[in-house]
Amino acid sequence: MSAHRSRKTCKPRVPLPRLTVRRRLTVAFGAIAFGSGALIIAALYLFMRFVPTYITAGGTPPPEGGTGDFGRAKPAVPGGNLSDALQITEVSAILDTLLWAGIAILLVISALASWVGWVVSGRMVRPLARIAEAAKRAGDGRLDHRIALTGPQDEIQDLADTFDRTLDRLERAFSAHERFAANAAHELRTPLTATKTILDIARAHPGSVDAATVFEQIGRNNDRSIGTVQALLDLTSAEAARIETESVDLSELLETVVARAVPEAISPVLRLRPTTVQADPLLLETLVENLVQNAVRHNDERGLLEISTNGSVHAWLRIENTGPEIAEDELARLTEPMYRARRSNAPGNGLGLAIARSIAEAHSAELTLAARPGGGLIAELTLPLP
């Protein structure tokens, strides 16, 4: 006899209706109206039941604890219909009529309150639907959509504004990341492509190529690749560095950096006042050196380089140099990794200001860039005092 294993058929679970915010608010409005009305009716019923002493028409006052009666007189009401329906002959009829009329009115008021709650809650949660739609689009990778909510400055308006600002920052960050990836790939591919071209020419025409020239060109391209990779490592180290601060004399540090990084062709104008700051000495030196090298690298034939320091409430460093004119829309992007200003043929890999910005942020300092009138750049660094 073959055994058959019985299988229980599982019925599909019926999903419960989604309890949205609008439905919860509607239920809350109705429950509040119903509960308030029920308390009013109960209090009124108990008051009318136990507090007054009823003396019926044509009758005698009721004994203590009794109900009494109203006799048999019917009040005269025009038309006679209402008096026939609400004919009251006993005190208990008053209480029963009061109770049932109160319940009917309570149901009507509760239904009206629920409808008002449904309408009002719909208007209240409508902005949340727009926020949810924007979040869904952002989750799909579309960061260009904004809520742009208008209305009273309440919590929902604050949430929408915060979400829009977050989308702005995310869009800028993703755009900067894409530009960084493209620029880094270009920066690393250029010397490798040049090296490959040199080797292909040397392989195709071995007798007409000077080996020393080939080696020199390959070495130069290799040094450029190494410099780019090292700059990327420096940027990563600056972003993840552990800060160990101590008191550092900013003016002395600048004198050391200027003597090492500024060529003899440029005569810098130094206005250095003794200024002590709280910073990591090695990272601060890297920051200052990158700012100075950027001012030297992107200078022009005018050769202006002014460096000044001061310290009162905050310590600040200001480096001003001549150079090509910089558009306003480029200033915010100068601190992006691997970004180069248009019309700039200066050497470098576009990481100096990005490293400086990362070190400044690690020190809770502020690095601001401004276009110099007549061409060039003004970099200002604000540092905390000890």
Q: Is the pLDDT of residue 336 over 60?
A: yes
- CA 367 to CA 261: how far, in whole Å? 20
Where in the chain is CATH 3.30.565.10?
Answer: 245-383
Q: Which of 249, 236, 240 is nearest to 281 (CA)?
A: 249
Q: Note whether 150 and 121 are within 8 A (CB).
A: no
Q: What is the pTM of this model?
A: 0.51
CA diameter of the chain: 141
Task: Give the pLDDT of residue 345.
Answer: 59
| pLDDT-based confidence at residue 7 (cuts at 50, 70, 90) | very low
CATH class of 245-383: alpha beta
Q: What is residue 379's DSSP assignment?
A: E
| pLDDT-based confidence at residue 344 (cuts at 50, 70, 90) | low
pLDDT in tens, 72-112: 434 444 444 444 555 656 777 777 877 887 888 888 888 88
Q: Is the pLDDT of residue 69 over 50?
A: no
Cα distances (angstroms) measured from residue 278 to each of 275, 282, 354: 10, 12, 21
Which of the two residues, 363 and 10, has the higher pLDDT score?
363
- Beta strands 315-321 and 377-383 are antiparallel
Where in the chain is CATH 1.10.287.130?
Answer: 171-239
Outline where DSSP puts E strands in the chain.
246-249, 269-271, 276-279, 305-311, 315-321, 366-371, 377-383
Q: Is the pLDDT of residue 295 over 80?
A: yes
Which of the two residues, 5 and 280, has the higher pLDDT score?
280
The number of beta carbons lying within 10 Å of the beta carbon of residue 320 is 18
Q: What is the DSSP string of 154-212?
A: SHHHHHHHHHHHHHHHHHHHHHHHHHHHHHHHHHHHHHHHHHHHHHHHHHH-GGGS-HH
Q: Note whether 114 and 26 are within 8 A (CB).
A: yes
Fold type of domain 171-239: Helix Hairpins (1.10.287)
pLDDT in tens, 139-181: 888 888 888 888 777 777 888 888 888 888 888 777 767 766 7
| pLDDT-based confidence at residue 67 (cuts at 50, 70, 90) | very low
- The percentage of residues in the chain with a pLDDT greater than 90, rounded to a whole number, is 5
Q: Note whether 50 and 63 are within 8 A (CB).
A: no
| pLDDT-based confidence at residue 4 (cuts at 50, 70, 90) | very low
| pLDDT-based confidence at residue 349 (cuts at 50, 70, 90) | low
Task: Give the pLDDT of residue 379.
Answer: 92
